[in-house]
Amino acid sequence: MFTVKVIKILATLCLYCALFAFFCYFYLIEQMTDFFKRNMIVTSRIEEVDVLEPPTFTICIDPPFKTSVAAKYDYADQADIFRKDVPKTSFADRFTNLSYILNQDYDIHLTLHESIHNEGKVRLVDGTNMIRGKKYQVQPIMTWAHGLCSKVQPEFQVTKVPFHTHLFLEPKGSLQDMDQPRKFIIYLTSNNTWQGIVNHIWPQYNPSILTINPKSSYYMIAKKTEYLFDEGVESSEDCWMKFIEYFKCKNKCRYATFVDLPLCNTSKEVQCMMEEGAKYIVYTICNKKRKGFTFTEELEEMKRYKDLNWTEIDVELWSMSKMVKEEVDVITLPELIGSVGGSMGMFFGFTIAPFIWYWMNKCIERIVNQSIK
């Protein structure tokens, strides 16, 4: 009898050990890894909202610099401005002379209602612009790949649809033929994620980019997708300034960034800032945001019945709904406890209730026995 009892105990122990090893290998390790490494998944849902943030437009020109001016400086491509000095000129002067300047080389007109005529169009200028009672801020943005772009940022929310933003882009007749734009490149972003344009680095998702031909007409029905991330910075500008404190550059300056620093004067200063930024991975870290959005990029070209000098695009919002893609933990602490507890019950028939009842009965028996005595 003793031998049989020992064999049963050993067999039971072996069974539990085997089940525990199976449980750990096929389940527990994966669950614990997901929890401690904070592995993430992306969930999707459709939300109906009362207000929508309209897109911020950043308008760039291809080629990024004027061909005639680049020839005078003996520049072969846009990267040369950041690495080659020209005697008796500063980096700031060269960048300005090469760039397409709003209201000097081209105009942007905007209206918030359907129109193919000139009535109601407002010519945008740098700074604050009021259009049908709504405020837009226009700002020049220095970039690495696109030269000087113009950011058109709405400072209001859309409360009803349909909502039309009609843009008209018109190069000046004073531009030489070789300097006429070949393409317009328009970025559609949120008002806190446009900074990726500066160095063309988007670490979390690709932005909405429209490439359109001059003297053409387009329309786009914009459907919004919002991204919610677990980690990110609140302000790219503040993030940059914190890193710049550690840069080992004699003259801390800006070349194609949005920080509040004086412009670099020489290509040597530019190279130092670029190398230090790359060393600290600033371009990636400071462009990560906790929230951003994109729009559909499907353009339809409209037929034009006469030759016009401007390019136009009508961006239309027709729905107060949005797709939300949210980054969440694969497993949280409450989910881990519930999952592991449930799995232990499945593998071992283990629950915590019998232990609780056991100690409750012990306490009750003790209290009753003491009262009888």
3-state secondary structure 274-314: HHHHHHCCHHHHCCCECEEEEECCCCEEECCCCCCCCEEEE
Q: Is the Cβ–Cβ distance between 47 and 321 less than 8 Å?
A: yes
Query: Are 128 and 266 part of one and the same domain?
Result: yes
> pLDDT class for 168, splitting at 50, 70, 90?
very high
Say yes or no: 219 and 268 in one domain: yes
Residues 141 and 178 in one domain: yes
**Strand ranges (E), the chain:** 40-48, 56-62, 106-111, 122-123, 127-131, 134-142, 148-154, 163-171, 183-189, 208-212, 217-222, 224-228, 291-295, 300-302, 311-317, 321-329
pLDDT for the residue numbered 279: 87
What is the pLDDT, as a whole number, of residue 26? 60
The residue that leads in pLDDT, 5 or 110, is 110
- pLDDT at residue 112, as a whole number: 85
User: What's the gap between Cα 132 and its chain centre?
Assistant: 29
**Residue 84 parent element (H or E):** none
Residues 228, 110: one domain?
yes
Identify whether residues 183 and 72 lie together within a single domain. Answer: yes
- Based on the fold, state whether residues 268 and 362 are members of the same structural domain: no
Rounded to the nearest integer, the mean pLDDT of the chain is: 83
Residue range of the domain that includes 221: 48-328
Q: pLDDT tier at 115 (50, 70, 90 boundaries)? A: very low
Q: Is the pLDDT of residue 116 over 50?
A: no
- Inform me whether the pLDDT recorded for 24 exceeds 90: no
Task: Choose among 137, 166, 169: nearest CA to 153.
Answer: 137
Are 343 and 239 contained in the same domain? no
Number of domains in the chain: 2
Closest of 173, 108, 112 to residue 140, by C-alpha: 108
Given a cut of 50, is residue 245 above it in pLDDT? yes
- Tokens 């003996």 identify what position? 74
Query: 287 and 159 in one domain?
Result: yes
Is the per-residue pLDDT at 85 higher than 60?
yes
269 and 169 part of one domain: yes
Mean pLDDT of 189-204: 90
How sure is the predictor about 214, in pLDDT bands with cuts at 50, 70 and 90? very high
Is residue 138 located within the same domain as residue 12? no
| Residue 129 scores a pLDDT above 80 | yes
Domain boundary (328, 344, 363) is at: 328
Give the CA distances from residue 34 to residues 27, 118, 331, in Å, rounded to whole numbers and listed in that order: 11, 58, 7
Q: Is the pLDDT of residue 348 over 60?
A: no
pLDDT band at 114 (very low <50, low <70, confident <90, very high): very low
Whole-angstrom distance, CA of residue 278 vs CA of residue 144: 14
- 219 and 273 share one domain: yes
What are 248-284's pLDDT values in tens digits?
A: 999 999 887 678 899 999 999 999 999 998 888 888 8
| Local confidence band at 117 (pLDDT 50, 70, 90 cut-offs) | very low
Per-residue pLDDT tens over the stretch 296-333: 877 888 877 667 788 999 999 988 999 999 877 655 55
Which letter does DSSP use for residue 177 in this model? G
Question: Residue 332 has what pLDDT?
Answer: 59
The angle, 0 to 180 degrees and rounded to 10, between the axes of the packed helices 267-279 and 91-98 is 90
137 and 6: one domain?
no
Would the pTM of this model clear 0.75, i.e. be above it? Answer: yes
